[in-house]
A and B are shown apart, each in its own frame.
Chain A
Amino acid sequence: MFAFIIRRTLASIPVLILVSLIVFFLMRLLPGDIIDLIVGQAQVEVSEETIAELRLQYGLDEPIYVQYFNWVGGMLRGDFGLSFRSHQPVIDIILPRLVPTLQIGLTALVLSAAFAIPFGAICAARPNSVWDRIGSMLTFVGASTPYFLAGGLLIYFVAFRMRMLPPSGFVLPTVDFWASMKHTIMPAITLALSLVAILIRQARASFSDVLRHPYIRTAYAKGLGETRVLIQHALKNALLPIVTILGLQLGTVFSGAVVTETVFAIPGIGRLLVDSILGRDYPIVQALVLLIAVAVVVATLIVDIVYGILDPRASRA
């Protein structure tokens, strides 16, 4: 088992290196040199010497591979550079923005799992029933609804018409817990809609597989009701692939954050990414894209390892 964990962890290192290379070169390809941008923002005549000095200061006189290693080295030490616009350290700008994104993302994951797993189980237990049809309809509707449609409808009806929840913004849970929850619920439901689509499908497939086993027939034969068979007998075996898919949805959470945080005006990293791209604040863009990619790779790694521990057959492959 230990060997499996080591092997699997080592295997993700090349992916991380490749990701960092891709991000680094993407940023070097961006229109306009970094120095041009800084000089452009200064809005005064800048002499050739100052430009040369700036190039030296930002390490741009070095060969490209040295720049890459300086950049990676800096990040490993927690130094992500300075923002072009506010001149604050990038890390100080990003960290507080993580709270709303993760709070909404986790709420969405929990909500969608709590709804989709039982629903998928019922769909699997009663194929072609009304429940199954509703389930498959939900799958299609969830997968086809853009975040701004779900979000727009929620804001209009729940916030503007019924005045039950605030339409936009965010409050930190440390400041006011209930207000924070009120700001979390609509964006989380918006995000959960696409997660529900994926999870119902997976839960249905996973339960269908398990329900075919003879031990389920035995459980029914000895007179157990559907609920007990599903919860006590099928759930344990069906859960593993569902949890795996759930763990791989971190990417969906980040993708969704970009749109939902725009819809609900939430100061999270999704909105920060959009603002930094539109405002050409490249150090922030670069750090965010890399952080998101690393988070996704690490989440995949953890899911793989947990799967290997829970189902030892997988680790021997």
Chain B
Amino acid sequence: MGFSIPGHHGLRGVMTAFPSSQRNPVQAIGGHARSIAGWCLKEPTGAFGALILALLILAAIFAPVITSYEPNAVNYRDLLQPPGATHLLGTDELGRDIFSRLLYGARLSMAVGVSAVVLSVLVGVPIGLLSGYVGGFVDELIMRVFDSVIALPPLVLALTISALLGPGLVNATIAISIVSVPTYIRLTRGQVLSIKNEDYVLAARSIGVPVWNILFVHILPNAIAPVIVQASLGLGFAIILESSLSFIGLGAQPPVSTWGSMVQTSFQFLSLAPWFVIAPAVAIFAAVLGANLLGEGLRNSLDPHQKQRM
């Protein structure tokens, strides 16, 4: 994306900060292909990822329309039925319809993934902006602390934090956000370092624009592209982390169930009812693949100079 000068709306006030930061990436995609349809032709991989995610989100929203089975309706006459005409993906150990449980489970799995990404962006980006812009001791301290956090492998850290907060989906979301935050801090900080001495930032500073205004109105719109790419990849990361936590027993607690906790209960029936394990695991795979493909497509068009970070 080009370094378009945000222009005079920088002085207009608080509210313009967010519209301008949202408009920018859209302009960047537009710069490549002018429209979403054009982008899909140019980035078929990314478009395929977006399609998978869109289908999953639609499936989650319209779950009651798509399936007539209640996800929690127990039916002791049809335990562990194989996939067939009556039960599309078979039934589980309590005779519940797996397909409808998958659809309803999509709501929670997607919600956890999206909230974790939003939360970590909302925390990570401001810290990164500040750290990069202020520099000096503050920057050094923030980077050292998060370097140490990164020394813990993601799942190990997420496990420990979940243990600390107690099992449950909300706490798992918080744990995943904490694990993801350093990436956003590092990314935003790097962007700020490369643009904080651009003429338009110096110009804003010299006429006395307040720091928060420079950060959010002048720097953020030009630093956001890699963050959007990372947010898409981060969605996949969050979904896989949530499912791992639930699989281990620290995520969703019964009666609440996500794809990950479905795999957890089903795993003991692997030899009897493999579809019971494979169905939710493939749903997780599809969602993560969708997020990764979309992220790759966005990277190619928004952030062509960035080195691949996966």
Seen from chain A, the residues whose Cβ lies within 8 Å of a Cβ on chain B are: 14-15, 18-19, 22, 26, 29-31, 139-141, 143-149, 152-153, 155-156, 160, 197-198, 201, 205, 251-252, 254-256, 258-259, 262-263, 273-274, 277-278, 285, 289, 292-293, 296-297, 300
Contacts and interface: CB of A to CB of B under 8 A. Distances in A.
Contacts of A262: 247-248
B164 interface: yes
B248 to A, nearest CB: 5
B285 interface: yes
13 contacts: A139-B310, A146-B285, A148-B281, A156-B274, A156-B277, A160-B270, A255-B155, A256-B155, A262-B248, A277-B160, A277-B250, A292-B153, A296-B152
A285 B267 CA distance: 25
A296 B151 contact: yes
Given A258-B248, A262-B248, 14 more contacts: A15-B144, A15-B147, A18-B144, A18-B147, A19-B152, A144-B289, A146-B247, A152-B267, A152-B274, A205-B307, A205-B308, A263-B267, A273-B159, A278-B249
Contacts of B307: 205
B293 interface: yes
B206 to A, nearest CB: 33
B271 A160 contact: yes
B153 A141 contact: no
Interface in B236-277: 236, 240, 243-244, 247-250, 263, 267, 270-271, 274, 277
B148 A19 contact: yes
B284 A146 contact: yes
Contact of A254 (B153, B249, B277): B153
Nearest to B288: A144
Contacts of B282: 149
B156 A258 contact: yes
A143 B244 contact: no
A259 B248 contact: yes
Given A29-B164, A254-B153, A285-B160, A22 B281 contact: no
Given A198-B310, A259-B155, A148 B271 contact: no
B149 interface: yes
A145 B144 contact: no
Contact of B281 (A14, A152, A277): A152
B310 A201 contact: yes
Contacts of A140: 289, 292-293, 296
B145 interface: yes
B114 to A, nearest CB: 17
Given A141-B289, A146-B240, A156 B163 contact: no
B190 interface: no
A274 B244 CA distance: 12
A292 B156 contact: yes
Nearest 8 pairs of A and B residues by beta carbon:
A149-B281, A18-B148, A251-B153, A255-B155, A144-B289, A255-B153, A144-B288, A277-B163
A152 B288 contact: no
Nearest to A294: B151
Given A254-B156, A258-B155, A148 B148 contact: no
A149 B310 contact: no
A146 B243 contact: yes
B270 A152 contact: yes
B163 A285 contact: yes
A285 to B, nearest CB: 7
B274 A147 contact: no
B255 to A, nearest CB: 19
Contacts of B147: 15, 18
Contact of A152 (B161, B243, B249, B277): B277
Contact of A289 (B160, B278, B285): B160
Given A144-B292, A296-B151, A274 B248 contact: yes
A155 B277 CA distance: 11
Give the interface centre of B160, B285, B307 by most chain A CB atoms within 10 Å.
B160
Nearest to B266: A152
Contacts of B310: 139, 143, 197-198, 201
Contacts of B160: 26, 277, 285, 289
B234 to A, nearest CB: 13
Nearest to B154: A255
Contact of B152 (A141, A252, A289): A289
Contacts of B44: none
B31 interface: no
A144 B156 contact: no
Give the interface centre of A148, A197, A262 by most chain B CB atoms within 10 Å.
A148
B244 A259 contact: yes
Contacts of B267: 148, 152, 263
